[in-house]
Chain A
Amino acid sequence: MENRLFDTTVQKLKYEVIKELIIAYDKGLDNGIFHDIPIKIMPGPHASLRCCVYKERAILQERLKLAMGGDKDNPNVVEVIDIACDECPVDGIFVTPACRGCISHRCIEACPKNAISIEDKHAVVDKSKCIECGKCTQACPYNAMILQKRPCVLSCKANAIKVNADKKAVIDVNKCVGCGACVYQCPFGAISDKSYILDALDIIKNSENNTKYKVYAIIAPAIVAQFNYARIEQVITGMHKLGFNQVVETALGADLTLNEEADEIKEKGTLTTSCCPSFVKYVQINFPDLFKYVSHTPSPMVMAGKLIKAMDPTAKVIFVGPCTSKKFEYKQDTAKDYIDCVISFEELQAFFDARGVDVSTLPDTYLDNASYYGRIFARSGGITEGVKALAAERGFEARPIAMSGLDECRKQLTLLKVRKSPYNFFEGMACDGGCVNGALCLHHGPKSLTDVNKYGEMAKEKTVDNSVKLYKMAVGEKDED
């Protein structure tokens, strides 16, 4: 394993760029960074990843633009880096040895671009003409032609990625749900998320050491499966060193979301969750008839922000998570008053390293705000478990299903649409396995699930009751008891 921190070199490159950007920010940003940072990361003279070092640097410049917020005119949180996509090595239509050299040549007839010819009796595809439409694969009676899809297209369960005439990946913003699957899956790192790290740095800097206002980080519960080289308590100490006045568990917001959703399902009868913004967008685009079932309860991120701002009205709240879609959620009307910025775990790691904070050497700072149920929101099935428990307590019927990944969501929502679903509560998460496998996690894997469960069990609060009481007190609602 070459990379201690990441699954892939692509993640590491993105991290390097953000780390260098933060170092440059601390020295005072100027336009020279577009020249200096790529050279620092790819000093040359020989290329290590692409055809030449100049191309590597040109791509790094594009990564730097994304690290600085990306194209302001493009509302999407993920963008294609055209010049990085150019070299996508997948062949598209591939003629296998199953080609019998027949004489009917249905493949040629089917091809709309005249890209197929016969050489030595066998089909040959002219890659410069082929548009990978796949018509020949259907036409061949021997199934001898196969269409190898690009990893980005395969990864996109929202069917939002197309390949254009120049063979570059293009994201359809009207279909994209911002889940970030393509960001993690593209082997060339040609699709990447925008970073708002500069906004986060400004928020921290302008607080003047938390004297003008206090900066709160709310961390997603998936964090326990991250930073495996240190204890979570050390990570919290490290975050204080970066200038966060307080670090609070977003899972505390999850307790509040769960509490409200339990009441909502009791009232409405059928409900889907709303905590995953990519899932919500997926329903909106693909199942508009079912959108009425999507919970109106704010997401855990928003609830945590609301709670903090009720307790400290001048607070600035930065969400730290595994997720690309939180990067668009926080700009929506439902969230913008409560959340000031969103950064990822990858960006947090870059932040630590840019400031020379080695969290593994630091003492512990406690982290315990949320209940067991709030903490297990990080994995698929967590909300379902919580709803079941509250249903038993509050006397209503919950028949929940945990839908893990958009394929599973599509299946279950289709059944709901045709009124064939046995369920009345639908937990929807765009990422397979839930947030713990989010696109911007440092690493992914089965161990993450165990980490989340263990962390859940360690919570002092075993039910959501105290979190709910705290919220009511903060917003000035009276307790019922």
Chain B
Amino acid sequence: MILSVCVGSSCHLKGSYDVIETFKRLIAERGLADKIELRACFCLNRCSDGVAVKADGNYILGVNGANAEQKFDDEILPLLG
């Protein structure tokens, strides 16, 4: 799965880098490096619902440093199938 975190201006201000760090940690801790490729991208055009994250074709919105782990478990992991 390609997991893209928006680092456009709006999401950046809302904490993209915190989200990326959390995802990096979770992918390492859970040994998902061969299943999830973490990427950054400029703007997913969901500026008002940032931080925006895209997991393959699915949007996960309103992510931030504090809820990143929960969003990862609840919304991203199930998509791995």
A interface vs B, CB < 8 Å? 216, 236, 245-246, 248, 308, 311-312, 365-369, 460, 466, 469-470, 473-474, 479
Least CB distance, A156 to chain B, in whole angstroms: 39
Write the nearest CB–CB distance from A374 to chain B, whole angstroms. 13
User: In the docked arrangement, what's the CA distance between A308 and B40, Å?
Assistant: 10
Among B20, B39, B42, B43, max chain A CB count under 10 A is at B42
Residues in chain A near residue B41, CB distance under 8 A: 311-312
Q: Contact: B13 with A470, CB < 8 Å?
A: no
Given the known interface contacts A246-B43, A466-B17, A469-B17, the answer about A368 and B9 at a Cβ–Cβ threshold of 8 Å is yes
Q: Which of B10, B17, B20 contacts A366 (CB 8 A)?
A: B10
- A246-B42, A312-B41 known; A369-B17 Cβ under 8 A: no
Q: Are B12 and A473 in contact (CB under 8 A)?
A: no
Name the one of A236, A245, A366, A473 contacting B40, with C-beta atoms under 8 angstroms.
A473
- In the complex the two chains form, is B38's CB within 8 Å of A473's CB? yes
Give every chain A residue within 8 A of B12 (Cβ-Cβ): 368-369, 460
Q: Which residue of A lies closest to B43 (CB)?
A: A246
In the bound complex, do residue A365 and residue B9 qualify as a contact, i.e. CB atoms below 8 Å apart?
yes
Cα(A368)–Cα(B8), bound, Å = 8
Tell me, in angstroms, the Cα distance from A177 to B26 when the chains sit together: 51
Nearest A-chain residue to B7, judged by Cβ: A470
Q: Range of interface residues on chain B?
A: 10 to 19
Alpha-carbon distance between A479 and B28 when the two chains are bound, in angstroms:
13
**Measured between alpha carbons, how far is A126 from B30 in the docked complex, in Å?**
88
Tell me if A311 and B40 are in contact (CB < 8 A): yes
Interface string of B24-42 (1 = CB under 8 A from A): 1000000000000011111
Task: Report chain A residues within 8 Å CB of B40.
Answer: 311, 470, 473-474
Residues in B neighbouring A248, C-beta threshold 8 A: 42
Q: Compute how far the CA of A465 lies from the CA of B18 in the bound complex, rounded to whole angstroms.
A: 13
CA gap between A23 and B7 in the complex, in Å: 34
A473 touches B20 (CB 8 A): yes
Is the CB–CB distance between A312 and B42 below 8 Å? yes
A236 to B43, CA, bound (A): 14
Residues of A within 8 A of B13 (CB): 366, 368, 460
Out of A236, A460, A473, name the residue touching B39 (CB < 8 Å).
A473
CA distance A258 to B38 in the complex (A): 25
For B39, the chain A residues whose CB sits under 8 A away are: 311, 473-474
For B9, give its contact among A216, A366, A469, A470 (CB under 8 Å).
Answer: A366
User: Residues of B contacting A367 with CB < 8 Å?
Assistant: 9
CA gap between A366 and B48 in the complex, in Å? 11
Measured between beta carbons, the chain B residues less than 8 angstroms from A466 are 17
Give min CB distance, B70 to chain A, whole Å: 23
Contact B17 A308 (CB under 8 A): no
Please name the residue on chain A nearest to B17 by beta carbon.
Answer: A466
Instruction: Return chain A residues, CB-CB under 8 Å to B20.
Output: 469-470, 473
With the chains together, A469 CA to B18 CA distance in Å? 12
Nearest opposing residue in chain A for B50, CB measure: A366
Given A469-B17, A473-B20, check contact A311 B10 (CB 8 Å).
no
A245 CB to nearest B CB, Å:
8
Closest CB in chain B relative to A130 CB, distance in Å: 58
A413 to chain B, nearest CB (A): 38
Chain A proximity mask over B3-24: 1 for CB below 8 Å, otherwise 0:
0000111101100010010001
Can you name the residue of chain A whose Cβ is closest to the Cβ of B18?
A466
Query: B7: which A residues are within 8 A, CB to CB?
Result: 369, 470
Q: Closest residue of chain B to A233, judged by CB? A: B9
